[in-house]
Structure formats: structure tokens, C-alpha cells
Amino acid sequence: MLRDTKSLLDNSIRARDGVIGSVKDLYFDDVTWIIRYFVVETGSWMSARRVLIAPTAIDVPAGDRRTLSTGLSKAEIRGSPPIDTRLPVSRQREMEYLRYYGYAYYWSGGALESRGAHPGSRSTRLPGESLSVWQGAERLENARLDKDADAQHRPHDDHHLRSCSTVITYHVEATDGDIGHVAGYLVELASWAIRYLVVNTSNWWLGHEVLIAPKWIEAIRWDDNKLRVGLTRAVVSSSPAYSAALPLIRDQEIDLHRHYDRRGYWADEETLENPELKFIATRTDRAPSDRPSANAPGEDQRR
């Protein structure tokens, strides 16, 4: 299921023992484009402090309900390490947060993947289990293993979390000029991966909104607030239009990927279930169901 991240903003968050505040932003990893945290502004009970909560610790119901729930308690949230969300969050500060909750480092990889590839997903703690009853020795061992693995991965001061609210102001460039600006995101709730950026092209094509997948982005100039895609303006302008008023269905996604001659992200999921597709998927950039018709132009013609 894909959901516009705008529908998650300003939702109330209810802990096990009461409402704690509301969602003000979402942070994503700039390497994988996966939502890593909800930024929640707490109420007066915590002096309106902003805290991070992993999306896997939050139950997001279908529909338009404006209250989301978490299995965490107010005490657990109050004791979490302070993080100034007005500044970029470094790996080192994030490590403090993850160690506090006992979450595995999702960037470590290797053997640690078995203990959780996403904040909040781990095998060592049962869903809804209180920190106070979790084995302290096991938590320290997890932190030690993660620290050793992380020492070989990235510098601790490497800023990698990006604010969805900030990137919405970014301009998008094609190979032959500007095409618009980021106006939103569609996220898959099952994986919390950002599947599409909604790009508003109103300055060129009279309010036409289009979808661009993060994998199609060739370069990001964080200091210049610009994203560059390896597509021409003509190809983008002729892509299927997107309407936020209607839910995006898989047939529309298939049409979109065929237009850009790109393989759909769901093709990787299919190869896990169908061994016959696995060999094909590793030999080509397109899954069989996504291949364009014989009359469709090739990718080199579109760029």
C-alpha cells in the first residue's frame, strides 16, 4: 500500500499510557530512501520537545484516522536521548538513540541483518515489551556488536538523515533543464520505502504532477537544493499524470515504468517467490511483466 506522507503529518501519536504529541516531519535515509523516523513534537508534559520514533514502532491504520498508536510508554519516550531536529542528525547521535531502544544498526549489514534491518525490528525484544523488563545484558551485547560493525562502515559524524519537509523545496532537473520541484512523497507502508517523489511541473506544463522514482535520480546536490534525473524534459512531460485525489494502483505503476523503460520495484519481490524469474531478473534490468512493447522506444532513445 502506497500512502502520501502528507497524510501522516499532524497526526496525533498515542503511547500506551496517553497521547504524547503529533507528527511534524519524517526523516529518510539518503542512501536507501527509506523512512527511518517520525519526528514527533511532544506536548507540555515534555516541554514541547521533539523526539524520534521509528515507524515500525507506530501503527498506521488505513483510512483517514488522525491518531496513530505506539507500543512505547511515555516513560520510555521521556528517557530517550535528546536530539536537536533543527540540525542534521549524525550517525553518532543516531547510535545513541538506537542503543537506548536496543535497536540493531540498520546500516551495519552482514550478520546483524538477522537482528533487524530497520529501527524497531529486532528478534531480541517482543512487540510491545517494556524496556524495563528486557534483558540488560543482551541489550549491551547487541550494542557492542553493532559498535564494532559500524566502526568499519561510516564515519560517525556522517549526516545521512534528510527531512522530508526540507527536500520538498528542492528543484528537479532533467538532462536538458528544470522540470519542477518536489511536492510530496509516496511511501510503501510495508517497507517504509519512498517509492516515488511527486514532482510539480506547474511552471512548465500547467499544473501537471508526475512521479519520479528515487532510483531514477542520478545526482543530488544537497548544498544547492537540487535533484537531477537522467531523463529529458520531453519524456517527463509525456509521462502518465498523477492525481493525489485517486489511489495509485499497480496497473498505473506498470504503465509508468513502461513509459520510462524501467523495471518496477515489485519485480524484485516477485523473484523471491518465483525461482523461474530469478535468473531473468539478474540478467536484465527489466522484469518480464514490465518489458515495453515492440513499438516502445528504447531507453537510449529516451535520455
pLDDT digits (tens, 9 = 90+) for 239-250: 998 998 888 999
Q: Hey, how many other C-beta atoms are within 10 angstroms of the C-beta on 104? A: 25
Name the DSSP class of 62.
Answer: S
pLDDT at 303 over 80: no
Rounded Cα distance between 2 and 149, Å, is 33
The pLDDT value recorded for residue 135 is 39
- At 41, which amino acid appears? E
C-alpha to C-alpha distances, 62 to 72, 78, 191, nearest whole angstrom? 21, 28, 15
| pTM for this entry | 0.73
235 and 219 Cβ atoms separated by less than 8 Å: no
Q: Which residue has the cell 542534521?
A: 88
C-alpha to C-alpha distances, 253 to 83, 237, 240, 241, nearest whole angstrom? 37, 16, 9, 11
Query: Any bridge partners for residue 211, and if so which?
Result: 198
Residue 5 vs residue 156, higher pLDDT: 5
Span 108-157, pLDDT tens digits: 543 333 333 455 544 334 334 444 443 344 444 544 544 444 444 444 44
Domains located in the chain, CATH noted: 2-161 (3.90.50.10), 166-302 (3.90.50.10)
Q: Which three cell numbers stand for residue 3?
A: 500512502
The confidence band for 175, taking pLDDT boundaries of 50, 70 and 90, is very high
| Averaged pLDDT score across all residues of the chain | 76
For residue 233, what are the contacts with CB-CB under 8 A and spacing of at least 6? 174, 176, 177, 179, 204
The pLDDT value recorded for residue 124 is 38
